[in-house]
Amino acid sequence: MDDRELFARLGRLSEVYGEPSPSLAHRVHREVAARRRRRRLLVAAVAGCTTVLVTATPVTLNRLAADRTSSAAITSAAPPVSPGSPPPCITLPTITAAPPHPPSLSPDPSPPPNTTPPTATLADTAPPNTTPPTATPPIPPSKRPTSKADHFLPQEAEATFTPLPDVVERTIDPTAIPTITLNATESPAPCPPVVTTPPSETPSPEPRPTTTTTSTSTSTTRATTIQATTPTGKPFVPDFLGEDGTVVGRTPDGELWEAVPGDGRLSRISDGTAETGTGVATGPDGVRTWARDFDLLCRDARGQVLTISPQGVAKDSGVWVSKGVVVAHDPMRQPWAAKGCARGALLPSHGKSVLGEVVAVDHPEAFVAEPSNDKVIRVLNLETGQIITEHPIQEGMSGRDWRAAVNRHIFAWAKDGLLHRLDRTTWQPRPSLGVPDGPARLTAGADLVVYSTDREAVVLDPRIGTVRELGGPAWAAGDWFLYGGAGAYHLEKAE
């Protein structure tokens, strides 16, 4: 029974039997106050004696979120997590509760039974009560009065009270409080290592098979390494560098192998065998060419091998592939062109008995030398077959023992240990350069011109007039630069 119900019942009794004596009212208020005090003490004792034992290892968060409502950002010691990385790994503790100790509080002893026989009162002889049962509320239990002065109810009403035991106040034993222990355990799977992202001002280099650096070339410091030995153990020598960076070469027995930028692994060209070593070239969309029995063969992207030369190919003819167009000349010194692996066609002769032999190509222009009759260098349009212009042949071009290359800056040709340069637009000569004499090749990229033997090379940049020497062979085509050294070849973008 709570305090409000006690006061309500006493109020209803006072309506029947009159106002209670001051001493009884004082005892009622004192009893209510004692109850409230005991409840406060019990709550305070439980709160003060609860012991929580925490045994945990530090938990590391890879990242702490910044408080949106705070002006100071909270950051963790761990490096920031890059986008796309897994969420932070957190080791959570396992919570276990130990069973409480047996309680040290025992219930208050029950009061001894009342052995006093009931005394006859006026209620035994009084007439029956005619008041309806609902008119008089039930009388709550209370302590039996200890003196006559405490009586404020009739004796018949007092006789119905049941004595209550005295409340014994005790101190709560702290050992009776359950103990909660936090045991930190390792996660079932170990946390993955934290992967840090470099700052934005120092980007990570792109993955590549192998890298090498050189201080003598004008190219970047990253290169694809191509081994000088095939997977079958045969020596590999490059013959041609394509404008897309593809490298095609041969073994001593004529097998054809290729390597592409970013990979560097040599793979054998299906059915590729160059008998004479001429006509080896590469172009976009899987185009690969080589000469066999005076014919120029071409393998397309589907692996089909076709003959593309209309009247054969000269043994001493070079083969050029520029912007996907294959250009060469036949044994009668007639130039011809083919798009990809389609059948080639002769360029218009324009009524001339000999149009000339091809010496350099930069699509859509082909440079054809005719040193015998007209003694000119003709510039032909490969798309229309028309003669764009003719330049007078230079001194020393009378024979066929010279090599040439062209890019958007110059027309270069070499003979007898000299590299000559002619302006592409005005055809005005520039100073000649000394180069190693002997068998050599002359190749040109978008900006670079490379004169190379099998053991050394000279790299010319016409834009700024720089010349550099390399201790190994080299090639240039498009935006790519290939050079050899230390038992391997290195392919990289030219700058």
Q: What local confidence, expressed as pLDDT, does residue 223 receive?
A: 86
Q: Tokens 């090379």, residue?
A: 457
DSSP 96-153: EEPPPPPP---PPPPPPP--SPPPP-HHHHSPPP-S-TTTSPPPPP-PPPSSGGG--S
Q: What local confidence, expressed as pLDDT, does residue 373 receive?
A: 83
Q: Is residue 137 part of a domain?
A: yes
383 with 364: CB under 8 angstroms?
yes
Above 80 in pLDDT, residue 246? yes
Above 70 in pLDDT, residue 422? yes
Q: What local confidence, expressed as pLDDT, does residue 175 receive?
A: 62
Q: Which DSSP state fits 12? A: H
Q: Dump pLDDT digits (tens) for 29-64.
A: 677 677 778 877 776 665 555 443 333 333 333 443
Q: What local confidence, expressed as pLDDT, does residue 200 receive?
A: 40
Q: Is residue 172 part of a domain?
A: yes
Q: What local confidence, expressed as pLDDT, does residue 179 receive?
A: 57
Q: Dump pLDDT digits (tens) for 105-158.
A: 444 444 455 554 444 443 444 445 544 444 445 544 444 444 444 444 556 555
Q: Is residue 221 part of a domain?
A: no
Above 90 in pLDDT, residue 233? yes
Instruction: For residue 185, name the pLDDT band (cuts at 50, 70, 90).
Output: very low
Lowest mean pLDDT among 81-95, 159-173, 254-268, 311-325: 81-95
The whole-angstrom separation of Cα 330 and Cα 399 is: 18
Q: What local confidence, expressed as pLDDT, does residue 214 receive?
A: 41
Q: Is residue 165 part of a domain?
A: yes
Q: What local confidence, expressed as pLDDT, does residue 38 receive?
A: 80
Q: Is residue 313 part of a domain?
A: no
Q: What is the mean pLDDT of residues 218-227?
A: 72
Q: Is residue 44 part of a domain?
A: yes
227 with 221: CB under 8 angstroms?
no
Above 80 in pLDDT, residue 351? yes
Look at the chain and report how many structural domains it folds into.
1
**3-state secondary structure (DSSP) of residue 125:** helix
As given in the structure block, the two tokens for residue 213 are 């650096």
Greatest alpha-carbon span in the chain: 165
Q: Dump pLDDT digits (tens) for 56-77.
A: 333 333 443 334 333 333 333 4
Above 90 in pLDDT, residue 328? yes
Lowest mean pLDDT among 89-103, 274-288, 296-310, 424-438: 89-103
Q: Is residue 10 part of a domain?
A: yes
**3-state secondary structure (DSSP) of residue 25:** helix
Q: Is residue 374 part of a domain?
A: no
As given in the structure block, the two tokens for residue 255 are 């097998």
Mean pLDDT of the chain: 73
Backbone angles phi and psi of 148, in degrees to 5:
-65, -30
Q: What is the mean pLDDT of residues 236-257?
A: 94
Domain of 23? 1-56+91-98+133-188
End-to-end CA distance of the chain: 97
494 with 448: CB under 8 angstroms?
yes
